[in-house]
Homo-oligomer: A and B are copies of this chain.
Amino acid sequence: MTPGPRELLKDVGLRVTAPRIAVLDWLAEHPHATADSVAEGVRARLGSVSTQAVYDVLNACARTGLLRRIEPAGHPARYETRTGDNHHHLVCRVCGRTEDVDCVHGAAPCLEPSAAAGFAVDEAEVLFWGRCPDCRGTPKEQPA
């Protein structure tokens, strides 16, 4: 079975605390949530958690690989528990809604730039921009 938050935290050497468990649980149920909505969800469950605690947890988990952070230009960062398979994302320009996309070209296309210019490349990030079903009618503004 899938390891729970406690095991995951221990595995990467992070302390097991209520805020961390709550954050991981919430994100497992709500992928691509923003820091803000994670904070909301965690507070609904634990009562009161500081903004910094949430950011600390998110950063610590992202650093140790428990979470992946997606930062679409012009939108707040989003987090997901699905890590390690380098899948891509579909982002709505209007509301920022984010969905997973498996790569078209099989396993890992686009992973090697033709000319690396001396760079040590360690990741290829692919983002598809568009409008989600809810925002297709909206020309440039926020949805209702």
Interface residues of A (CB under 8 A from B): 69, 71, 73-74, 77, 88, 90, 92, 99, 101-105, 109-110, 112-133, 136
Q: A115's contact among B101, B110, B120, B130, by CB below 8 Å, is which?
A: B101
With both chains docked as a complex, state the minimum distance between the C-beta of A96 and any C-beta of chain B, in angstroms.
12
Chain B residues lying within 8 Å of A99, measured Cβ to Cβ, are: 117, 119
Q: How far is the CA of A112 from the CA of B104 in the complex (A)?
A: 7
Q: Which of B77, B109, B121 contacts A110 (CB 8 A)?
A: B109
CB-defined A-B contacts under 8 Å, sample of 19: A71-B74, A90-B113, A92-B119, A99-B117, A101-B115, A104-B109, A104-B110, A105-B109, A109-B109, A109-B110, A117-B132, A119-B132, A121-B129, A123-B128, A124-B128, A125-B127, A125-B128, A125-B129, A126-B127
Contact between A120 and B126, CB atoms less than 8 A apart: no
- Oligomer copy total: 2
| Contact residues in B for A114 (Cβ distance below 8 Å) | 101-104
A103-B114, A121-B129 known; 7 new pairs, CB 8 Å cut-off, are A69-B73, A116-B130, A117-B133, A119-B133, A121-B128, A122-B131, A123-B130
The smallest beta-carbon distance between A98 and chain B, in angstroms, is 10
If A73-B71, A73-B77 touch, does A113 touch B121 (CB 8 Å cutoff)? no
